[in-house]
């Protein structure tokens, strides 16, 4: 069974321990940050920040502010667009769930960055010989039976690692048990064919204005790779069709010209 992570944002306390744990495990450098209009820090995911907590303040009608903390990282789609577009197969979905990247295959074309519906893959723009970087779901830890470093470090059980089926069941159990507490949809259950990151939020992602922050809600339930695969499935037939048509038309048109030539010559002889 494919592994997944249940991210219950109502349990998150916004400590950013997961950001630190991720940096520790992947040996990533820290970043000098500055104050900005948001509490989210760092401001963007990049080749040194595989995950970050988005801080959202949503004003209630009566004027009260509600805090929401939403973790962003690779969604580890069940059928990833990045895997389907990579011309050299550098991105692979593992049986356990992680979508991992092969440093030695990548040519640096950046099509995965363009195609990812969640805009997750990032490029090492600061390096002369850059590679793609993104959350790998701690594939090396999962392989030896450990949970990803972020969920291991989470103090409030907002990040629960486990089998996807079991976690989905648990997510729906929580929604059913606390009707007012959760928005009744699990983000990641169906979107783009399902992802390994399953989100429980108190309100919808649109209300949290996350649809412009990497969590689009207009993506549909079809994996994006299908569009490329549909195209590729036609390619051999188009090749055969065009090739056959070209050869056929060449001979037909040549013959037609010959016949016309003969006719006009015969006409002259008469």
Provide the binding-site residues for another protein, judged by CB under 8 A: 44-46, 81, 84-90, 105-111, 113-115, 117, 119, 122-131, 212, 216, 218-219, 224-225, 227-229, 231-232, 235, 238-239, 242-243, 246-247, 249-250, 253-254, 256-257
Q: Which one, 180 or 236, has the nearer CB to another protein?
A: 236
- Minimum CB distance to another protein, residue 46 (Å): 6
**Burial profile 152-166: b = 16 or more Cβ within 10 angstroms, e = fewer:** bbbeeebbbbeebee
- Minimum CB distance to another protein, residue 178 (Å): 32
Q: Which one, 110 or 174, has the nearer CB to another protein?
A: 110
Q: How far apart, in whole angstroms, are the C-alpha atoms of residue 33 and residue 50?
A: 16
- Minimum CB distance to another protein, residue 81 (Å): 6
- What's the order of all strands across the beta sheet hosting 159-163? 159-163, 3-8, 197-200
Q: How far apart, in whole angstroms, are the C-alpha atoms of residue 171 and residue 163?
A: 12
- Minimum CB distance to another protein, residue 20 (Å): 22
Q: Output DSSP code: residue 192.
A: G
Residues 6+ apart with CB under 8 A from 122: 45, 46, 47, 113, 132, 133, 134
- Minimum CB distance to another protein, residue 73 (Å): 15
Residue 81 tokens read as: 């667009």
Q: Which one, 13 or 240, has the nearer CB to another protein?
A: 240
Q: Which one, 5 or 85, has the nearer CB to another protein?
A: 85
Q: Which one, 218 or 266, has the nearer CB to another protein?
A: 218
């Amino acid at each position: 069974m494919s592994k997944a992570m249940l991210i219950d944002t109502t349990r998150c306390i916004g400590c950013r321990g997961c950001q630190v744990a991720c940096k520790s495990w992947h040996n990533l450098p820290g970043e000098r940050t500055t104050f900005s209009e948001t509490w989210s820090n760092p401001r963007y995911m990049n080749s040194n920040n595989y995950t970050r907590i988005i801080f959202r303040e949503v004003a209630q009608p009566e004027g009260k502010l509600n805090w929401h903390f939403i973790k962003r990282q690779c969604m580890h789609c069940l059928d990833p667009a990045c895997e389907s577009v990579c011309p050299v197969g550098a991105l692979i979905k593992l049986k356990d769930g992680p979508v991992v990247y092969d440093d030695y295959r990548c040519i640096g074309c950046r099509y995965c960055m363009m195609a990812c519906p969640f805009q997750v893959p990032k490029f090492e723009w600061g390096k002369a010989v850059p590679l793609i970087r993104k959350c790998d779901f701690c594939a090396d830890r999962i392989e030896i039976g450990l949970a990803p470093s972020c969920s291991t470090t989470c103090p409030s059980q907002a990040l629960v690692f486990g089998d996807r089926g079991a976690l989905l069941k648990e997510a729906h159990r929580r929604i059913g048990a606390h009707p007012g507490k959760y928005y009744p949809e699990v983000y990641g259950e169906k979107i783009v064919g399902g992802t390994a990151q399953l989100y429980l939020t108190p309100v919808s992602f649109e209300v949290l204005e996350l649809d412009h922050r990497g969590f689009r809600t207009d993506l549909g339930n079809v994996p994006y790779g299908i569009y490329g695969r549909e195209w590729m499935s036609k390619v051999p037939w188009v090749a055969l069709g065009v090739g056959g048509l070209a050869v056929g038309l060449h001979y037909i048109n040549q013959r037609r010209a010959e016949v016309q030539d003969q006719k006009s010559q015969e006409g002259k002889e008469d």
